[in-house]
Structure 1
Amino acid sequence: MNVKRIINDLLIQSGSKVSVEIDTYFPGGRLIGGKYSMSHHSITMYIEVIKEQCLQLFSSLEYMADYFAVVFAHELGHAEDPELAILAEQLDECRTEMERNKISLKIEENAWDFARELLPEMNYVFMDRIIFHSLLPYHDRLSQTDIA
């Protein structure tokens, strides 16, 4: 898998000027494959975490290149989201957990919408599985606050 080629191709395709760094693991041990920093307009991709995620979801590294591309396209979605600054500000001003959860979900859905548009040729079943598992904690938090 040529990570730099995937990154370069998607940067060109998206027209994004975001800077990209590659690291091994997300600090703190959480299984986060990529992280967008608004303040630095940069994306850090965590290769070993992405491998772990791919293995957990598909029990194989056979799809690692596509999995990486999907996760990177999602992070590009954050970087190129015209609503992100406003949503982040709203997130800071939330008065309720329900509000916070709804805005967090919206931020993630925006990034996934961008990823889908950026990768129209990607197998939709493959991509939907990744998206479903990525959004599951957000939906779970929403349903928990809905009950409370």
Structure 2
Amino acid sequence: MSTRTVHLYKESIRKQCYQLFGSLDRLEAYISVVCTHELGHAEDKQLCQLADRMDQAITHRERAETALKIEEHAWKYAELLLPNIDQAFIGVIIEQSLAAYRLELGPEIA
């Protein structure tokens, strides 16, 4: 994590786009969203601290909360970089992305 390197896997992104939207019509916009989200991880000043926390002896809930926080930070960064993107479009992507993390925390978060 200390390298702040971003890796994108084109075929995985294509599959995700198709699964989420049923077509590749908005693939270019989807790639922009995914890329800025990953840049959000790379730019997150708290990422190393949060990742270190994940390596500590913490409860399952604390681990889930930390993982959610890491993802939320990256999504906030993506939204800042994409102010003109269709909010419904990015909202679907963000909600789908965070759903598993929220589910891990239980129904009060999901």
Specify the code of the residue in structure 1 equivalent to 2:49. Answer: I
Partner residue in 2 for 1:122 = 85
State the TM-score, normalizing by the size of structure 2. 0.93
Larger Rg: 1
**What is the alpha-carbon distance in structure 2 between the residues aligned to residue 136 and residue 94 of structure 1?**
25
Map of 2:60 onto structure 1: 97
Match of 1:31 in 2: none
Higher helix share: 2
1:126 deviation in Å? 0.1
Instruction: Confirm whether residue 63 of structure 1 aligns to residue 26 of structure 2.
Output: yes
In 1, distance between residues paired with 2:57 and 2:102? Answer: 18
1:94 CA drift (Å): 3.8
> If the length of structure 1 is used for normalisation, what is the TM-score?
0.70
Stretches of 4+ aligned residues off by more than 2 angstroms: none
Partner of 1:73: 36
Identical positions, percent: 44
SS in 1 for 2:6: strand
- Aligned-partner SS, 2:104: helix
**Structure 1 counterpart of 2:58, one-letter code:** R
Letter of the structure 1 residue corresponding to residue 46 of structure 2: E
Aligned-pair Cα RMSD in Å: 1.4
C-alpha separation between the residues in 1 aligned to 2:57 and 2:21? 36
Counting matched residue pairs gives: 108
For 2:32 and 2:7, locate their aligned partners in 1 and report how far apart those are by CA, in whole Å.
13
For structure 1, list consecutive stretches of 5 or more residues without a partner in the other structure.
1-37
Greater RCO between the two (CA within 8 Å, min separation 6)? 2
Higher strand share: 1
CA contact (8 A) 1:94 1:100 kept: no
Unaligned runs of at least 5 residues, structure 2: none
Corresponding residue of 1:110:
73
